[in-house]
Structure 1
Amino acid sequence: MLITTVTDPSDRRVRTLTGKEIELDIEADYKVSKIKERVEEKEGIPPAQQRLIYGGKQMADDKTAAEYQLEGGATLHLVLALRGGRA
Structure 2
Amino acid sequence: MEEEIDPNEEYIAAYNLGYKLNRISPEIAELLDHIPVQSQKMKALKAGIDQHKDEVLEDYTPDWLQNEDKEINDIDPDKDVDWNIEPDL
The TM-score, its normalising length taken from structure 1, stands at 0.23
Relative contact order, higher structure (CA 8 A, sep 6+):
1
The structure whose Rg is larger is 2
Higher helix proportion (structure 1 or 2): 2
Higher strand proportion (structure 1 or 2): 1
The TM-score, its normalising length taken from structure 2, stands at 0.23
